[in-house]
Amino acid sequence: MQKPRVFFVSHGGGPMPLLGDPSHADMVTCLQSIAAKIKKPSAILMVSAHWEANPISITSSAAPELIYDYYGFPEPAYSIEYPSPGEPALAEKVHQALAKANIDSTLNPSRGFDHGMYVPLKIMYPEADIPCVQLSLHPSLEPSLHLAIGEALQQLDYDNLLIIGSGFTFHNMRAFFTPETAEIKAQNIAFEQWLVDVCGNTELSEQQRQAKLLEWQMAPAARFSHPREEHLLPLHVCYGAAMRPCSDIYELRIANKQASMFLWDD
């Protein structure tokens, strides 16, 4: 069975990429170029940093509503539309794949799509014509579990599926709202350089790459970059599904910080 196509997106700050914010312009351009480059998927499985559930949960509605899971933004942020259909058949396949890997999960017919899903997808696929299923993180935030979730997804029998992990390679909220100092910049760059090497270095064995991701807290400026790791762990799911070095790395500025995106499309 061919390993799935996988993409990790740094999704920016709330709805700001959709509101014309200049500090997200690079992100918008990057996502548009990636969507133009890759084959349009028949369905998307989205792992968002903005949903944690125990047991791991899977959206199973045929028509999920949008969740405006952010606060304090201008009114247009609460009238964003992205009427992408759900895909109950894919949701069931995900549920079965996790069960085969002895990972407990449940189908959730009432949960909608959060902004970790619709913000990047509205930029990439504005027609909203690709069926989507969203998969939660586990609130334990255990790296090995999220790698195992990704490995289980390798077994999905679904033609032309794209798995997307939606998070942010840098997610220190205090740093976003503090004037940038040389120290903040250096720590931001140090972790980004480590992550780019881990995901893209073809001289690493997969065992070495996996060990580095499992021990990510040992990386330079790890806890500065991720005081809480929910925005990093979608990358662990992505790597678990891919189990190979990424084919493309995108390094860019998002919200005035260095960030990265990773594509496995080979």
Give the per-residue pLDDT at 124.
99
With pLDDT > 70 as the criterion, what percentage of the chain qualifies? Answer: 99
| Mean pLDDT of the residues in the chain | 97
For residue 2, is pLDDT > 90?
no
Kindly report the pTM of this predicted structure: 0.97
In the chain the domains, ranked by start, together with CATH numbers, are 5-264 (3.40.830.10)
pLDDT tens digits, 145-190: 999 999 999 999 999 999 999 999 999 999 999 998 999 999 999 9
Region 6-16 average pLDDT: 98
Query: Percent of the chain scored above 90 by pLDDT?
Result: 97
pLDDT digits (tens, 9 = 90+) for 33-78: 999 999 999 999 999 999 999 999 999 999 999 999 999 999 999 9
| pLDDT tens digits for range 189-234 | 999 999 999 999 999 999 999 999 999 999 999 999 999 999 999 9
pLDDT value of position 266? 87
Predicted confidence (pLDDT) per residue in 72-96, tens digit: 999 999 999 999 999 999 999 999 9
pLDDT bin (cut points 50, 70, 90) of residue 1 is low
Largest CA distance in the chain: 50
pLDDT tens-place string over residues 110-132: 999 999 999 999 999 999 999 99
State the pLDDT at residue 3: 73
